[in-house]
Structure 1
Amino acid sequence: MTKNQPTDRPPGDLTPSLVARLRAGDVEAGALLNTLYRQAMIRFCWGYLSSVEEAEDATQEVFCKVLKTDRVPDNPRAWLYKIARNYCLGILRGRLHRRDARVLPPDSQLG
């Protein structure tokens, strides 16, 4: 398959046209995104975050980021998961910074 050939996608899969409908405020497109990807996205985020509540919050944030981005990629599904991965990694980095701050003594004690 060459780069310019269309790929076979199941009906209702995340496509550039669905992303465009989402950005236009199409409620049915939002419901379709939720139906297609919510559970899989929660499981994906849970693999990083180890908390169902955080995974649900991350999923919601990922869907919001999809709406705010101007770009419509060639492979929206991979793009969606990349957004989710980056969002989860950001949460994990934040945890490390907070943990490091608790471990180090205040500057005044370091001399």
Structure 2
Amino acid sequence: MTTPPAIGSDMPPLEPSCPRCHAKIGRVHRKWCPVARCLATGLQRTGHDETCLCAKDTWSGRWPGAAECFEYGWTYGDGLPDLNRLMSTATWDPVAHRWIRPGHRTSTD
């Protein structure tokens, strides 16, 4: 399993609740929440295949993928995570439930 991302000093503070469904840190997002991710694919859970048996996503205090962007140094000059680069460059690890940068092994390799 991959180690969780290191939190840098430039990473913004945690948000106590999801900005869309208001789930608190560590709590499951509501079924319709557009922030929740499918833990099998890393993509938005809303509207994904209803037969998917993925676990329910919980609010971490950060937008999905933001921790990986800060860990990999993929941010815009103003300290915002470059989620477009993450989605187009990294690979989702369905076991570790995180994005892995190119050249690094996933837990399924």
Query: TM exceeds 0.5?
Result: no
Greater share of strand residues, 1 or 2?
A: 2
Question: TM-score, structure 2 length as denominator?
Answer: 0.27
Question: TM-score, structure 1 length as denominator?
Answer: 0.27
| CA radius of gyration, larger in | 1
Greater share of helix residues, 1 or 2?
A: 1
